[in-house]
Structure 1
């Protein structure tokens, strides 16, 4: 059963405790209130300001699990805080495992500061959870997919358009990296996991994947130099850097270029086509 008074009080306290810089917003000179405004939190949680206001006032409709998950992520809650929010809303908290899409506050704080780099947060199945505007400008909006196609691993082996973004000379290596990542996830999660389901799908739908699946490699990494074939900017050579969150098995991926290089200059042009 929903605890409307408790939910409203929790949301008000969390909003008052959040500062603009905590969630990637500019403070501005005219800010006179402690914490964030309701409309700012609503935008972060992808809700209407009216709907969020009613929740803080202890009224309004019964919020769904999906809506509560959006609020938990938008307010940068920890896993324990997220679980508390779910209980206040009358829902059972999601499992704390690698299937969770909830990003830790620490990783989000780092991500929110990467405004000048193409960056994304992905889980162990290659599903993109967040992208910076420059990240979208580099590879497209990878959060728009649904079903198995949410996984970049799945798209790589089933959709030729996914490979068009990368230099043809790197395709074989990338295939082995992705196959190794899936094998590692299946080993960790077991035969009933989403990772195992993904492997089964690719064994049935990809001509290339079965041969790679029989290889024993599990330790290939995503880091290193990446050669992109951007549809507007042409060839880019970027360095790939990662930061791993072991609790949620999420990885922050950041792309950079050598200052003064041709790719560095092209990277600056991404801001022109980025969806700011």
Structure 2
């Protein structure tokens, strides 16, 4: 159980809630002082979760014993957590056992076969550390020839730092972002594998490089970002507006990352030329 991380996660989720989202009787008890800060008060969350205010206060102060599964479920409902946030809460509280180290099994043959069958769709596989462990020819042509990189640089986070805006940016109005996605995935991996030293190194590297990542990391943002809009700057094909989709490979820590374009557009035509 990580009491400090659990306390920080609960506090940030409580402060992110707005009183107007909650039942009036729970957040505006008669005779209370005027609200000075955004978010709910500790005693309000405690009332919504059906626990004592003193116990909840000790949870946020990292002084309480491990909460039960029933208490975590009640807190998840009170704080309106998503499924990903509930899972993260359970891991922080020690209800979902942490693994000692990631499974370094070879990439499954069927996953490699899928990459090859995607043909002109650039795609690669990443593990829990964001290491790029397999890719197809289209991905090497679109992004970089991963096979020529040293193993330690074959990492999505480190490539983002290295390539930066010369390779990829977000189109105007695009929501989310790789930094937020990386923060969510590394947070979840860190809770699952707390002894994994490389995860901490990646967090420190990217936080120093990206204010957006640092803010998402501080906020314990673990919500998945399944689709990103990216504008890629290719040296031969020019600017490409692409959707970057991430899918979890069942039964593994692997994620399949695919780049696609809107059919009929210039970017789709460029991807087709890339394949030839």
TM category (shorter chain) comes to 0.5 to 0.7
> Deviations for 1:84-120, whole angstroms, at most 9, x for unmatched residues?
xxxxxxxxxxx99635261112212212212221111
Query: TM-score, normalised on structure 1?
Result: 0.54
What secondary structure is seen at the aligned counterpart in 1 of 2:112? helix
Q: Provide closer, same or farther for how the CA distance between residues 163 and 102 of structure 1 changes in structure 2, counting only shifts above 3 A.
A: farther
* 2:120–2:271 CA contact under 8 A, matched in 1: no
Q: Provide closer, same or farther for how the CA distance between residues 173 and 254 of structure 1 changes in structure 2, counting only shifts above 3 A.
A: closer
> What are structure 2's unaligned runs of at least 5 residues?
1-98
> What are structure 1's unaligned runs of at least 5 residues?
1-94
Residue 120 (structure 1) aligns with: 124
What secondary structure is seen at the aligned counterpart in 2 of 1:125? coil
What secondary structure is seen at the aligned counterpart in 2 of 1:254? strand
* 2:121–2:260 CA contact under 8 A, matched in 1: yes
Report how far residue 196 of structure 1 moved: 3.0
* 1:100–1:248 CA contact under 8 A, matched in 2: no
Number of corresponding residues: 175
Residue 19 (structure 2) aligns with: none
Match of 1:258 among 246, 249, 262: 262
Match of 2:182 among 166, 178, 187: 178
Residue 140 (structure 2) aligns with: 136
* 1:103–1:248 CA contact under 8 A, matched in 2: no
Q: Radius of gyration: which is bigger?
A: 2
> Deviations for 1:23-66, whole angstroms, at most 9, x for unmatched residues?
xxxxxxxxxxxxxxxxxxxxxxxxxxxxxxxxxxxxxxxxxxxx
* 2:122–2:137 CA contact under 8 A, matched in 1: yes
Greater shift after overlay, 107-116 or 220-229?
220-229
- Pairing 1:239–2:209 present: no
Cα RMSD, aligned residues only: 2.9
Query: TM-score, normalised on structure 2?
Result: 0.54
In the TM superposition, 1:21-170 aligns within 5 A as 98-100=102-104, 102-146=106-150, 148-156=152-160, 158-159=161-162, 161-169=163-171
* 1:227–1:237 CA contact under 8 A, matched in 2: yes
Residue 188 (structure 1) aligns with: 192
Report how far residue 238 of structure 1 moved: 2.0
Q: Distance in 1 between matches of 2:165 and 2:245?
A: 20
> Deviations for 1:116-150, whole angstroms, at most 9, x for unmatched residues?
21111111222111221111111112344336433
